[in-house]
Chain A
């Protein structure tokens, strides 16, 4: 009986696992290298030289700034809307039993379960029929639709772990519904809510599949990047922006992980 293979992994497995992990991370790290290259016409490897000048160039590009601003604005609004709606839905679904509860759970997940293009053109034709012009708000509506799922998943998981008797105890001691929510429920779901919000923000900030179909002339940062991919202007600037995007979304994800890691469901697994 070879007892050692329970404690130590076979070398082949270790190598395969390491290769898999590397495969997932190295490509993005390459972008970081390219952000410093002096070559601006091609993706030459190895980079002929290193420079910091592209950061300054990117800083001075007005289209980058306006795209960034729009992305931040859209992400913030979508996140807030998603947090309110997602929490309401999660509270209703996990605290009461009612007819159609399962159906509602499925409904909320639908926007993320269906391929983005379907959500995109469905919303697009809906806006067309209702004669709503494409604007920041149509983008927000599109984003909010699937950001709700992320918040909902996190909130539902947290609500399920919240003992029902806590709410009863609070009411028993003289707190009405609102006071109970403020003093007992909210403190206990806060971390999950924040985690869900951060993930929703990251999701919205990065979204391009639905956004291209629900935006008018506006360009969020991903739309800007898509344009650059198809018709590159200054490649190194794109590299710089790409690197910044990775770093910016890295932080909320990390935060969300730390906020929920002692729960039984780590934030983000429900994507």
Chain B
């Protein structure tokens, strides 16, 4: 099966700034692929390279194995849902959605009918006559989605699509997007800085840092087996065990990452740590600990909330949860 999107040694430099630096990537057809990273890490630039709004300084970009770096965006079978939705203010919702068809010279009756079908697919049936300015943020986002999908693109790109929505709406949309993607089978590539979003929606994630990909893998891979300190810290919060401690405990070289929820409070036989702070999070309690001079966070059951600050407690964890980051 041809990969939907391929990056071969792709770079995009802006003068001396290396926004994207020699990135290799292969996104499979039908995947829900996430590009995750902090701002300025290059993930948005990569998305724009796929769409055609930027041209690579070096390397090759292919869609369905066809090289496209010299092809303008309007000739690429790729559509984008923009962060600010970019709905045309002078057109109605239906005309917005039907835009791609209008450009392809589909006749008016037919394209408006298809637009209505597309709107129904995103649960906005009947909204065709309204103007974008009359819609809420969540509704506009759905219109943008319908508009991008109506042309049946090979790849759908989404640029931080849920950023402007409030929490409840965001979680709703995450579910809907996932269902939509499964139903349509179209390759989705979406960019986000929210790691929990990436973890919950994506089939695979590429973690970006300073223009390069730090790690690509499934959400489980990324979370439990981070390959660099950056990934360990960026994806979920993590404790990074310094090399000395790791060598002391297991004799191996390198640092290790340990998720706070892997730490258990035990009655005896564990490591002695001093409680330096505690926070009640609702579903759990976070304890800040001092373990052999290193700062640790542990996520424990609320029953341990009565622990005193400054008091010692015994903690332990499974060796399997301590993931070694070799030569980080």
Q: Which residues of A contact B (CB under 8 A)?
A: 163, 165-166, 168-176, 179, 183-184, 187-188
Q: Are A166's CB and B86's CB within 8 A? A: yes
Residue among A179, A183, A187 with most chain B CB within 10 A: A183
Q: Are B74's CB and A165's CB within 8 A? A: no
Expressed in whole angstroms, the Cα–Cα distance for A170 and B72 within the complex equals 12
Expressed in whole angstroms, the Cα–Cα distance for A176 and B86 within the complex equals 17
- Decide: A173 near B147, CB < 8 A? Known: A168-B53, A168-B73, A179-B103: yes
Q: Are B90's CB and A188's CB within 8 A? A: yes
Distance in Å from the Cβ of A76 to the closest Cβ of chain B? 27
Distance in Å from the Cβ of B112 to the closest Cβ of chain A? 16
Q: Are B103's CB and A173's CB within 8 A? A: yes
Closest 8 CB pairs of A and B: A169-B86, A165-B86, A173-B100, A187-B90, A171-B73, A174-B103, A175-B103, A172-B80
Expressed in whole angstroms, the Cα–Cα distance for A172 and B51 within the complex equals 7
Cβ contact of A172, chosen from B73, B84, B89, B90, cutoff 8 A: B73
Expressed in whole angstroms, the Cα–Cα distance for A174 and B72 within the complex equals 10
> A166 contacts which chain B residues (CB < 8 A)?
86, 88
Distance in Å from the Cβ of A92 to the closest Cβ of chain B? 19
Interface 1/0s, chain B 71-88, versus A by CB < 8 A?
A: 011100011101110111
> B109 contacts which chain A residues (CB < 8 A)?
none
Q: Are A169's CB and B90's CB within 8 A? A: no
Give the nearest-CB partner of A180 in chain B.
B74
Q: Are B51's CB and A188's CB within 8 A? A: no
Confirm or deny: B168 has a beta carbon within 8 angstroms of a beta carbon on chain A.
no
- Decide: A171 near B84, CB < 8 A? Known: A187-B90, A188-B89: no
Expressed in whole angstroms, the Cα–Cα distance for A169 and B87 within the complex equals 8
Question: How many of chain B's residues touch chain A, expressed as a range?
Answer: 20 to 34
Distance in Å from the Cβ of A240 to the closest Cβ of chain B? 43
- Decide: A174 near B86, CB < 8 A? Known: A169-B80, A179-B103: no
Cβ contact of A184, chosen from B52, B83, B88, cutoff 8 A: B88
> A175 contacts which chain B residues (CB < 8 A)?
74, 99, 103
Expressed in whole angstroms, the Cα–Cα distance for A166 and B80 within the complex equals 12
Expressed in whole angstroms, the Cα–Cα distance for A184 and B96 within the complex equals 11
Expressed in whole angstroms, the Cα–Cα distance for A245 and B170 within the complex equals 60
Task: List residues 81-136 of chain B with CB under 8 A from any CB of chain A.
Answer: 82-84, 86-90, 99-100, 102-104
Give the nearest-CB partner of B99 in chain A.
A173
- Decide: A172 near B72, CB < 8 A? Known: A163-B86, A165-B86, A187-B90: no
Confirm or deny: B236 has a beta carbon within 8 angstroms of a beta carbon on chain A.
no
Confirm or deny: B58 has a beta carbon within 8 angstroms of a beta carbon on chain A.
no
Q: Are A171's CB and B74's CB within 8 A? A: yes
> A170 contacts which chain B residues (CB < 8 A)?
88, 99
Q: Are B72's CB and A169's CB within 8 A? A: no
Q: Are B72's CB and A171's CB within 8 A? A: yes
Residue among A168, A172, A175, A183 with most chain B CB within 10 A: A172
Expressed in whole angstroms, the Cα–Cα distance for A171 and B78 within the complex equals 11
Q: Are A174's CB and B100's CB within 8 A? A: yes
A-B contact pairs, 28 of them (CB 8 A): A163-B84, A166-B86, A168-B82, A169-B82, A169-B86, A169-B87, A170-B88, A171-B52, A171-B53, A171-B72, A171-B73, A171-B74, A172-B52, A172-B79, A173-B79, A173-B99, A173-B100, A173-B147, A174-B74, A174-B100, A174-B103, A174-B151, A176-B72, A176-B74, A179-B103, A183-B99, A183-B102, A188-B89
> A174 contacts which chain B residues (CB < 8 A)?
74, 100, 103-104, 151
Expressed in whole angstroms, the Cα–Cα distance for A176 and B79 within the complex equals 14
Cβ contact of B82, chosen from A165, A176, A179, A187, cutoff 8 A: A165
> A171 contacts which chain B residues (CB < 8 A)?
52-53, 72-74
Task: List residues 172-188 of chain B with CB under 8 A from any CB of chain A.
Answer: none
> B148 contacts which chain A residues (CB < 8 A)?
172-173
Expressed in whole angstroms, the Cα–Cα distance for A179 and B104 within the complex equals 11
A169-B86, A169-B88, A171-B73 given. 11 additional CB < 8 A pairs?
A163-B86, A165-B83, A168-B51, A168-B80, A172-B79, A173-B79, A173-B151, A174-B100, A175-B74, A176-B72, A188-B89
Expressed in whole angstroms, the Cα–Cα distance for A169 and B78 within the complex equals 11
Task: List residues 195-241 of chain B with CB under 8 A from any CB of chain A.
Answer: none
> B84 contacts which chain A residues (CB < 8 A)?
163, 165
Distance in Å from the Cβ of A200 to the closest Cβ of chain B? 24
Expressed in whole angstroms, the Cα–Cα distance for A172 and B78 within the complex equals 7
Expressed in whole angstroms, the Cα–Cα distance for A183 and B88 within the complex equals 10
Q: Are A168's CB and B86's CB within 8 A? A: yes
Expressed in whole angstroms, the Cα–Cα distance for A183 and B104 within the complex equals 13
> A168 contacts which chain B residues (CB < 8 A)?
51, 53, 73, 80, 82, 86
Expressed in whole angstroms, the Cα–Cα distance for A166 and B100 within the complex equals 13
Give the nearest-CB partner of B48 in chain A.
A168
Expressed in whole angstroms, the Cα–Cα distance for A175 and B76 within the complex equals 11
Distance in Å from the Cβ of B270 to the closest Cβ of chain A? 54
Expressed in whole angstroms, the Cα–Cα distance for A172 and B103 within the complex equals 11
